[in-house]
Chain A
Amino acid sequence: MNILLSGVGGQGILTLAELLGDAAILDGYEVRVSEVHGMAQRGGQVVCHVRFGKNVYSPLIIEGASDMLISLEVLESLRAARYLKHEGVVIINSLELPPPLAIIKGIKYPSINDAIKEFMKITKKIYVINSMEIIKRNRLPAATINTIILGSAWATGELGLSRDSLIKAMIRRFGEKWKDINIKAFEEGAKYLSETGVAKV
C-alpha cells in the first residue's frame, strides 16, 4: 500500500505520516515512512511517503504508483498529482494557502474546481473535505484537522488499515486526555465523506 501525503510546512503532515506508520505496525506490516525535515519545513511544500506491506524496501513511492493521495491543501494536491495511480483515491482538504511568491510573480492560484477537473483525468475517486466547516459545526479544536482527514481517508474503505489500530496510534500519540476529541474528529471526518461522496465539478 502506498499513500502520499502533501501539504505546506507547519500543517502537521509529519504527525499524520507517523500515525499511519504506527497503525501499520500495529496491523503487523513492514513499514517505511519518508519525511521532510529542515529547510522545507519553513512554509514550503512538504510531502511524506507512507508505504506498508509484506516486503518493503524503498521509503519513496514511485511516480504513478500511489494508491492514495491525501493533501491538506488544494494547490499541493496538484503538485503531488503525478504520484497518483490510475483510479487511485485522492482526498483534498479544501483549504487554500496561496504562496506569497505566486502573488509576487502574479501566477493565478488554481481553484478547487480546477483541481477536481485535473484529477478526473485519472480517477473518479476524488473526495473534497471541508475540514474548517466540520470544525466549526462540531466546535472542534483547529488542531484536529489531521484527525478529521484521517477519518475521511479511512471511510473510503481503501486505506488498508484497521480502525482499531488507527485509534490506538492516535491515543498513543496525542494522549488519553485528547482521546474523546480525536475520536469525535475521526468520526466526523468519516461521516462527512460518506455523506458527501465523490466530488463533481
Chain B
Amino acid sequence: MNGEEIVLMLGNEAIARGALEAGVRVAAGYPGTPSSEIIEVLAEWAKEHGIYVEWSTNEKVAVEVALAASFCNLRSLAAMKHVGVNVASDTLFTATYTGVRGGFVIISADDPSCHSSQNEQDNRLYGPHMYIPILEPHSPQEAKDITMYSFELSEKFKIPVMVRTTTRLSHSRGNVRLGPIPNIAKEGTFERSPEEMSCLPSNARKMRVKLIEKIKSIEEYFNDSPFNCINGDSKVGIIASGLAYAYTMEALRALKAEEKVSVLKLSTLYPLPKKLLASFLEGKEKVLVVEELEPFIESYVKAICCELGIDSRVEGKNLIPLAGELTPLIVLEGIASFLGEKLVSKSGFKLEVEVPPRPPVLCAGCPHRSTFYAIKSAVRKMKVDAIYPSDIGCYGLGFYQPLEAIDISLCMGASIGIACGLSKFSGKIVIATIGDSTFMHAGIPALINATFNPSNFILVILDNGLVAMTGHQPSPVTGVNAMGEKVKVVLPEDLVKACSISFCKIVDPYYLEATISTIMEAIEHVQKGLGPAVVISRRKCALTLLREARDGKIKIAKNRVDEEKCVGCLACIKLIGCPALLPFNGKVIIDESICTGCGLCGHVCPFKAVMRVET
C-alpha cells in the first residue's frame, strides 16, 4: 500500500495511516471501543516501518509514554476511548503546560449513544478546560488528513493536539487516497530543560501565561484552516462539524435546499475561530448549529453574537436533541423544521408481529457465565444476603437475565473501591467481580485500600487471559505485548499477595463444584471478619479455546443432548442463556461449532440429558 492508490479504509485505520504518513515514531494506547483499531493497525505496521507501539496498562500510562517520546523529539500518538481521556486527564492537564517537542497527537474516540460505553460524554469540552486544541474530521479521508495536520500543528505551537472522532466515523469505511510514507529511522534524543518540563508552582504559573498566549495564536491560525469551509452565500446558515456535517449535506439534498442555505463546516473545534465565525454570522437572518451531544459550538456562537452585536437568530439544541447519537433522519427533521418545511414520512410501515429483542450475550462456553453461576449457587447454598458490584468488561453482560449477577457497575476499576465502601456501610455480604485487564488498569490501588483500611468483601478476579471485550488485545497476564513480543506475565495472585491479603485461591470455573465450594469458603472468611478474600477464576476466553482447538493446539470436549432423555423443558436455556443451546423440534440441540464443553448445561439439566463427547 503505497503511492496514489485509493482504498476503502476504516476511519480508525485512516487515522493510523495519517500518523504513519506524518512520520509517527511512537504510539501507545489502552483498548477501548471505538478506538482500539488505531493502535492495532499501527502495531501491525510497527516492524515494517520501525515504529514503537504499545498497549499500556491504562490510558494515563499510554499518554505518559507517548509524551515522553515527544520530549525526546519524536512524533508520537496516544489513542483511547472518550472515558480513557478521563483516566489520562491528570497528565494531559499539565502536558498542555509543559508543551511538547516532537508532534504529540491524542485521539479521543467518543461514543454517542453509548454503543459500547458506560456514558456518552462529549470530549470537546476538554478543549477549554485543558487548553488543548481539538479538531474533528467528518470522513475517513479527512480523518487521515486532519491527523497529519495535527502533527504539524502540535510541532508548530509546541502543544499536544487532540483529534476527536466518534463511533460512527471510527467504524465507518470510505475512500481514502494513500500518500507516501516517509522513510525516517529516527532515534530519540533528550535535551534537559527542567524549567520547561517540571510543573512546580513557580514554573507552572509562568507556563499558564504562555499557554494562554499559545491558544490565542492558534485561534488566529484556525481562522484560515483549510479544514473549515463555507459553502454558499445565503441569509440562512447552518454550522456543523463531524458527522453532523455529513448528515446536514444529505438533508439539504433531500430537501432540495442546497441553494437556500449556506453551510459552514467547522473542523477546528477548540479554540473556535472567532473571526471566521463572525464573518459567517454577519448578515444572517438565522443560523442553525447542528452538532452531536453538547451545545459546544452553539454556546460559543451565541456568545460571539452577544459580544459583537450580531443579531442573527441562533438555533441548535431546541431542534437537535442533546442525548444520543445523531442520525440522518434526526438531522433531516431538525433542518426541515428550521427551514419551515413539512416532511412527508415515507415509511408508514408498521410490523404486526412482535420482534423479540436480541441484546448481546456472553458467548457459548464463556468462563464468566460459569463463574457467575457458581457465585449465585454459593450464595444460595449459604443463604446469605449478597450484593454484587462489578466492573467493565465482557462480564458486564452478567447483568442480564438469566444470570442477573450485577447490582452496581460504573467505570474501570470501580468495583473494588465500591466494595470497600459497601462492605462497611451496607450490612450485606459483598461479592465484587473484575476482569484481569480491568484489575491491572485501575483495580490495584483500591485493593491496597482494602488492607490499608480493613474491608471485608469477596473479590472474584475473572482471569480469561486477555482483554476480551474490546477484541482480544493482550493484557499483562497474556505473556505477549502489542508488537507480538514474548514478555513476562504479571500474575494477579502475586499482586493480591503483595497487598497483604491472606485469602487468595485460584479456581477453574469449568470445575463448577470446586468453584462453588471455594466461593463458599471465601464467604465464611468474610463472615468471620478476617479481611478481604480473593478468588481468581482462571480459564481462557471461550473464543480463544475455539481458535486454539481449530488450529489443532488443544483438544476441547463438546456437549451433546441425548434426544431420548431431553423432554424439551428448556430449563437449560432459561437458567443459563447459552447461545449454543437451540430449541429444535420440541427439544434442545447444541450448536457444536461454538460449544466449548463447559458442561454448565449438563449441570442444570433436570433430566441429565446432556452428554460430554471428547473430540
Q: In the docked arrangement, what's the CA distance between A33 and B362, Å?
A: 27
Q: Which of A24, A63, A118 contacts B353 (CB 8 A)?
A: A118
Q: Which residues of B sit under 8 angstroms from A118, Cβ to Cβ?
A: 351-353
Find out whether the CB atom of B174 lies under 8 angstroms from the CB atom of A31.
yes
Residues 41-74 of chain A, each 1 if its beta carbon lies under 8 Å from chain B, else 0: 1111100000000000111111111000000000
B164 to chain A, nearest CB (A): 17
Cβ < 8 Å to A, chain B residues 349-408? 349, 351-363, 394, 397, 400-402
Find out whether the CB atom of A101 lies under 8 angstroms from the CB atom of B357.
yes
Q: Which of B90-98, B225-233, B577-585 contacts A (4 or more CB under 8 A)?
A: B577-585
Q: Which of A108-116, A155-163, A177-185 contacts B (4 or more CB under 8 A)?
A: A108-116
Q: Which of B174, B349, B363 contacts A43 (CB 8 A)?
A: B363
B222 within 8 A of A: no
Q: In the docked arrangement, what's the CA distance between A13 and B362, Å?
A: 19
Q: In the docked arrangement, what's the CA distance between A30 and B246, Å?
A: 14
A97 within 8 A of B: yes
Q: Which residues of A sit under 8 angstroms from B428, Cβ to Cβ?
A: none
Q: Which residues of A sit under 8 angstroms from B471, Cβ to Cβ?
A: 37-38
Q: Which residues of B sit under 8 angstroms from A36, Cβ to Cβ?
A: 115, 171
Q: Which residues of A sit under 8 angstroms from B352, Cβ to Cβ?
A: 117-118
Q: In the docked arrangement, what's the CA distance between A65 and B10, Å?
A: 24
A34 within 8 A of B: yes
Interface size on A, residues (CB 8 A): 63
Cβ < 8 Å to A, chain B residues 336-350? 345-347, 349
A100 within 8 A of B: yes
A88 to chain B, nearest CB (A): 11
Residues 80-124 of chain A, each 1 if its beta carbon lies under 8 Å from chain B, else 0: 011011100000000001111111110111100011011001100
Find out whether the CB atom of B347 lies under 8 angstroms from the CB atom of A64.
yes
Find out whether the CB atom of A104 lies under 8 angstroms from the CB atom of B115.
no
B116 within 8 A of A: yes
Find out whether the CB atom of A59 lies under 8 angstroms from the CB atom of B577.
no
Find out whether the CB atom of A101 lies under 8 angstroms from the CB atom of B401.
yes
Q: Which of B303-311, B326-334, B437-445, B448-456 contacts A (4 or more CB under 8 A)?
A: B326-334
Q: In the docked arrangement, what's the CA distance between A60 and B565, Å?
A: 49
Residues 32-49 of chain B, each 1 if its beta carbon lies under 8 Å from chain A, else 0: 011011000000000000
Q: Which of A24, A34, A82 contacts B168 (CB 8 A)?
A: A34
Q: Which residues of A sit under 8 angstroms from B246, Cβ to Cβ?
A: 57-59
Q: In the docked arrangement, what's the CA distance between A82 and B329, Å?
A: 12
Q: Which residues of B sit under 8 angstroms from A107, Cβ to Cβ?
A: 354, 356
B411 to chain A, nearest CB (A): 15
- Find the B residue at minimum CB distance from A85: B346
Q: In the docked arrangement, what's the CA distance between A101 and B399, Å?
A: 13
A4 within 8 A of B: no
Find out whether the CB atom of B362 lies under 8 angstroms from the CB atom of A37.
no
- Find the B residue at minimum CB distance from A100: B577
Chain B facing A: main interface SS:
loop
Residues 167-188 of chain B, each 1 if its beta carbon lies under 8 Å from chain A, else 0: 0110111110000000000000
A25 within 8 A of B: yes
B518 within 8 A of A: no
Q: In the docked arrangement, what's the CA distance between A24 and B352, Å?
A: 35
Cβ < 8 Å to A, chain B residues 295-317? none
Find out whether the CB atom of A104 lies under 8 angstroms from the CB atom of B573.
yes
- Find the B residue at minimum CB distance from A52: B175
Q: In the docked arrangement, what's the CA distance between A22 and B9, Å?
A: 9
Q: In the docked arrangement, what's the CA distance between A44 and B394, Å?
A: 13
A40 to chain B, nearest CB (A): 6
Find out whether the CB atom of A101 lies under 8 angstroms from the CB atom of B359.
yes
Cβ < 8 Å to A, chain B residues 94-136? 115-116
Q: Which residues of B sit under 8 angstroms from A75, Cβ to Cβ?
A: 355-356, 358
- Find the B residue at minimum CB distance from A29: B175
Find out whether the CB atom of A103 lies under 8 angstroms from the CB atom of B570.
yes
- Find the B residue at minimum CB distance from A76: B358
B249 within 8 A of A: yes
Whether A82 contacts B172 in the complex (CB less than 8 A), given A42-B361, A60-B327, A62-B328, comes out as: no
A9 within 8 A of B: yes
Q: In the docked arrangement, what's the CA distance between A62 and B304, Å?
A: 34
- Find the B residue at minimum CB distance from A30: B175
Q: Which residues of B sit under 8 angstroms from A142, Cβ to Cβ?
A: 593
Q: Which residues of A sit under 8 angstroms from B401, Cβ to Cβ?
A: 101, 104-105
B470 within 8 A of A: yes
Q: Which residues of A sit under 8 angstroms from B345, Cβ to Cβ?
A: 64
- Find the A residue at minimum CB distance from B578: A100
Q: In the docked arrangement, what's the CA distance between A18 and B174, Å?
A: 10
Find out whether the CB atom of A31 lies under 8 angstroms from the CB atom of B360.
no
B44 to chain A, nearest CB (A): 16
Find out whether the CB atom of A42 lies under 8 angstroms from the CB atom of B397.
yes
Residues 6-42 of chain A, each 1 if its beta carbon lies under 8 Å from chain B, else 0: 0011100000011001101100001111111111111
Q: A21-B173, A99-B356, A118-B353 are in contact. List 7 more A-B contacts (CB 8 A).
A: A37-B471, A59-B243, A79-B355, A100-B581, A104-B573, A109-B356, A115-B353
- Which 5 pairs between the two chains have the least Cβ-Cβ distance? A64-B347, A38-B33, A38-B116, A44-B360, A102-B356
| 9 residue pairs bridging A and B, Cβ less than 8 Å apart | A31-B173, A36-B171, A57-B245, A57-B247, A58-B247, A99-B357, A103-B583, A104-B577, A107-B354
